[in-house]
Amino acid sequence: NAGVTQTPKFQVLKTGQSMTLQCAQDMNHEYMSWYRQDPGMGLRLIHYSVGAGITDQGEVPNGYNVSRSTTEDFPLRLLSAAPSQTSVYFCASSPYPPGNGIWQPQHFGDGTRLSIL
Amino acid sequence: DAKTTQPPSMDCAEGRAANLPCNHSTISGNEYVYWYRQIHSQGPQYIIHGLKNNETNEMASLIITEDRKSSTLILPHATLRDTAVYYCIVRADTDKLIFGTGTRLQVFP
């Protein structure tokens, strides 16, 4: 049982390049989410998904796309990277959405550190 | 959506209790208070949550005031490993968990 696995751990991109940050969980969790964390700041929600085939926007969705074709995987795509997207990205999962009456804490991955030059 | 206010930083001596306050004066009746912590840029770790009553687990205690407008996370015997950023969160809406900037707790020897 690996929990939430994020790849890669580090990445450097040039402005305008595209890439996909991978997130996989092996706990059969329905809810998955992506956050970004800039230096000295808290986490900001980018996108989230309450189940396969369903995604929605968080606080800062611009410049990012997501899809949820399977329960296990929730990739985050940067179509045209910009220096403002330099950040640490965290993926998280939980059995149910935060507001569900049967609440379980979110499990976080170890993060992807992304630098865009 | 309920907002939270936390002090940006706090210090605590090792072995002493660390009391981390959080104000959430606009909290609504069905919103829970959650606490997470983040150690040195690792992914956040769940600590505890509560609605009205005080809660305790193996990591910490959560004290919620009777009017629910504020709460305090208590680490009863802080260790150096408790140095981290602590986030107090009130659920924003059904499907979102919104983090603020948290309190940076420094535990010193």
Return d(Cα A43, Cα A4) in angstroms, integer.
Answer: 17
Q: What is the DSSP letter of A30?
A: S
**A48, A97, A111: residue with CB nearest B43:** A111
Average pLDDT over chain A reads 91
From A98's Cα to the closest Cα of chain B, the distance in A is 5
Q: What is the DSSP letter of A99?
A: T
pLDDT, residue B84, reads 96
Q: Which amino acid, one-letter code, is at A9?
A: K
In chain B, which stretches have pLDDT less than 70? Answer: 1-2, 92-95
Return d(Cα B12, Cα B19) in angstroms, integer.
Answer: 9
Which residues of B sit within 8 Å Cβ distance of A?
32, 34, 36, 41-46, 49, 85, 87, 91, 93-102
Mean pLDDT of A56-72: 95
